[in-house]
Structure 1
Amino acid sequence: MRTQFQKWRTTVAGISAAVLALGAAACGSADENAGAEGATRPFDTPSGQVQIPVAPKSVVALDQYTYFGLLDVGVHPKATASGYTDSFAVFPPYAAEYAKAPKVGGSMEIDIEQVGAQAPDLILGNKFLSLEKHKIEDYQKLAPTAILGGAPGEPGVAWPQWVIQAADAVGKKPEAEALKKQYEDRAAQIKSTYRDKLAKLKFALINGGGGKWYLNLDESWGGTILKDLGVQFARGGVTDKSNNTPEFSIENLDKLNEADVILYQADYQGKAGPDTQQIIDLPAYQGLRAVKAGKSFPTGNFYALHYKAAMAFQDEIEKILKEY
């Protein structure tokens, strides 16, 4: 069964192009009427400028970047989408709250009536949201709506920008910027401390799906965090820099022999999903150089999508480097 993230992998290119065509983006603008009850302010998105509440009180977050990014800065959305647990994307400190949060349909199949039932005063979403069934205008009829991501020149997965934009929309940009600085400082510290090891080791970030395996490179979800740490990627012979999640058949598992460390997708308890477990159980995987050396590790931060999860992934990588 395909996860929400696997669906996004196949649709992101087309959605990004559609969003890009709608216009240039900026982060958001300053408010001049912060003291007024019910005041609004202009907020720029790739689909145009919208007027949003200065102090929203009932936010519906239609995607995981927005939802978890807002939790990072202490904002608790009234509702969100289901399906985030399918790919182990729920950061443990947020698991209980996410489980209790009202759901407005799957993240790729939003139920707009359920959105309206939450009586939102602000709706936030991301470019990965399917806009084929419901257009932005449909959401705008319910409440001011900002769909983030897809700005010109933006990487395919630009979660650091998206979570800051989401925080900006609810008046929490300084808090998000503080998390960004903490993340960047931590990355610089790890990069400096383990410079020699990082120069000689190659990492592979993998998952399974449909009887195949995927190599997640520097512009993939978790790959962006590894890249910021100065990690070298085992690329499996892939030279196309725009292909950040190349797929391989199980007959090509030997391409992972380039890797000194392999990280595979799992939940936060270290249990891989069926598709990935099928790959790592194969004799060909068990015979890989990194596996035989004891350097194959599960990671629950495969889809780290916000700063607090990203910093947990940094801690995980530092532990591996320290013990290597």
Structure 2
Amino acid sequence: MAITSLSRRGAALAAALSAALALTACGSDDDTTGDATATTATTHSVTADNGTIEVPAAPQRVATIGNTTQPFIDLGGKPVAVTTVRDSTLELLPDDQQATYKAATNIGDQDIDLEKLAGLKPDLILVQIDDAGFKEIEKQLTSIAPTVSWSLDTEWKAFADAIAAAANTDPALSQQKAEFAAKVTKIKETYRTIIEDTSFVDVSRGQFNDPGTFYIADIGCSEIGRDDVGLTLPQADAGKDPLAYTSLPFEQISQLTEYDVITYPVDAQGRPMPDFEPVIETSTWKALPAVTSGRALGLFCPGNNSYGQVIRYLDSLDSALAKLPAQQ
């Protein structure tokens, strides 16, 4: 059985890094009738990190590999093949999106079953994995179907644009963009004074953190709060690694007193995420002024590599800011 190994970085890191992606959609070879009065475009060209690729204008059997799965499903897509999504990530998705994912054929995780993929007869393959992993299987994938690949450095808004153009989901994307813009505007207008006068810090920890450590989040949904909403949040200096890459010992929790509001990760029901629970159980956390005064806000961040995920984060942020007590 043709199974090829590939190494992949985590989806959180991929969603967090920012870079530019050029995407172009244009008309291609047309089928012209004998009287030259009508044309029907059956393909179009998209430009991604693996070049300019001719893809179906309206693909019907899309396979998603790596980080393309969730954004494609978020845009209403129903993939015929997917690679493995971690349970902890999958359970953050809405029920209908989880069902769509489970209905697709799983072709593997670190090892992709290329024979199984070929048997599904996809007419388009979307890929976002590490560059070395893609190079290992690029020839096999392109022999199966037109393959469009993006690097892990792709900025999330450009990624959404790219997937929509390649997979013919532009109407869904337009609707999501409009909803996103409306929610950002509402938050900025409703909480203008808070945004202007309040210092925030976003803290978190994950499975990768050593026991007794946490980190200051300046990537992921923190980027949305900072760059789109305008919250004053700490971030790494230009050219430096994100603050989130540095694990801090619990002894440094007391340093969070310099911020007016602390945000931390919760699930869709508002419960602290399991990986973060050790932080809130410390006496140092419980003694923080922001915690004792009701200025520690739980925020739900299901991810930030698609508009649907970010919209859910904005809803959580809106609700949390509404609960802030008045400044004393």
TM-score in same-fold range (> 0.5): yes
- Could you tell me how far 1:122 is from its partner in structure 2? 0.9
Task: State whether structure 2 residue 13 is matched by structure 1 residue 9.
Answer: yes
Check 1:205–1:190 CA distance in 2 against 1; reply closer, same or farther (3 A cut).
Answer: same
* Partner-residue secondary structure (3-state), 1:76: coil
Contact residue 84 and residue 90 of structure 1 kept, 8 A: no
- Could you tell me how far 1:257 is from its partner in structure 2? 2.1
Aligned equivalent of 2:167: 170
* Partner-residue secondary structure (3-state), 1:224: helix
| In 1: Cα distance, 2:30 partner to 2:254 partner | 59
Letter in 1 for 2:13: R
Residue segments in structure 2 that go unaligned for 5+ positions in a row: 1-7, 32-38
Task: Please give the residue correspondences for 1:101-116 in structure 2 after superposition, counting only pairs within 5 Å.
Answer: 101-106=104-109, 109-116=111-118
| In 2: Cα distance, 1:117 partner to 1:279 partner | 48
Aligned equivalent of 2:50: 47
Task: Please give the residue correspondences for 1:17-166 in structure 2 after superposition, counting only pairs within 5 Å.
Answer: 26-33=22-29, 39-64=42-67, 66-87=68-89, 90-93=92-95, 94-106=97-109, 109-128=111-130, 131=133, 134-149=136-151, 156=153, 158-166=155-163
* Partner-residue secondary structure (3-state), 1:270: coil
- Comparing 124-133 with 90-99, greater Cα deviation is found at 124-133
Aligned equivalent of 2:184: 187
Letter in 1 for 2:98: A
| In 1: Cα distance, 2:64 partner to 2:311 partner | 22
Check 1:125–1:6 CA distance in 2 against 1; reply closer, same or farther (3 A cut).
Answer: closer
Task: Please give the residue correspondences for 1:269-288 in structure 2 after superposition, counting only pairs within 5 Å.
Answer: 269-288=269-288
| In 2: Cα distance, 1:290 partner to 1:114 partner | 53
| In 2: Cα distance, 1:174 partner to 1:27 partner | 17
Residue segments in structure 1 that go unaligned for 5+ positions in a row: 151-155
Match of 2:241 among 240, 243, 249: 243
* Partner-residue secondary structure (3-state), 1:317: helix
* Partner-residue secondary structure (3-state), 2:252: helix
- Could you tell me how far 1:279 is from its partner in structure 2? 2.2
| In 1: Cα distance, 2:27 partner to 2:190 partner | 42
RMSD between aligned residues: 3.3
| In 2: Cα distance, 1:280 partner to 1:250 partner | 10
Contact residue 159 and residue 305 of structure 2 kept, 8 A: no
Aligned equivalent of 2:221: 222
Contact residue 43 and residue 55 of structure 2 kept, 8 A: yes
* Partner-residue secondary structure (3-state), 2:24: coil
Q: Deviations over 1:218-273 (max 9, x none)?
A: xx2212221211111145xx545643324222222223223333332343233444
* Partner-residue secondary structure (3-state), 2:52: strand
Percent identity of equivalent pairs: 22
Q: Deviations over 1:53-101 (max 9, x none)?
A: 222111111134x333323332211222223432467322423333443
Q: Deviations over 1:185-220 (max 9, x none)?
A: 321231122111001222332221222212211xx2
Q: Deviations over 1:104-162 (max 9, x none)?
A: 223x5544344334321111022557616833223212211111246xxxxx4611110
- Could you tell me how far 1:183 is from its partner in structure 2? 0.9
For these two proteins, the number of residue pairs brought into alignment is 302
* Partner-residue secondary structure (3-state), 2:148: strand
* Partner-residue secondary structure (3-state), 1:69: helix
| In 1: Cα distance, 2:134 partner to 2:124 partner | 21
TM-score for the superposition, normalised by structure 2: 0.78
- Could you tell me how far 1:167 is from its partner in structure 2? 0.9
* Partner-residue secondary structure (3-state), 1:305: coil
Contact residue 262 and residue 296 of structure 1 kept, 8 A: yes
* Partner-residue secondary structure (3-state), 1:243: coil
| In 2: Cα distance, 1:87 partner to 1:251 partner | 29
| In 1: Cα distance, 2:115 partner to 2:220 partner | 31
Check 1:89–1:196 CA distance in 2 against 1; reply closer, same or farther (3 A cut).
Answer: farther
Contact residue 210 and residue 275 of structure 1 kept, 8 A: no
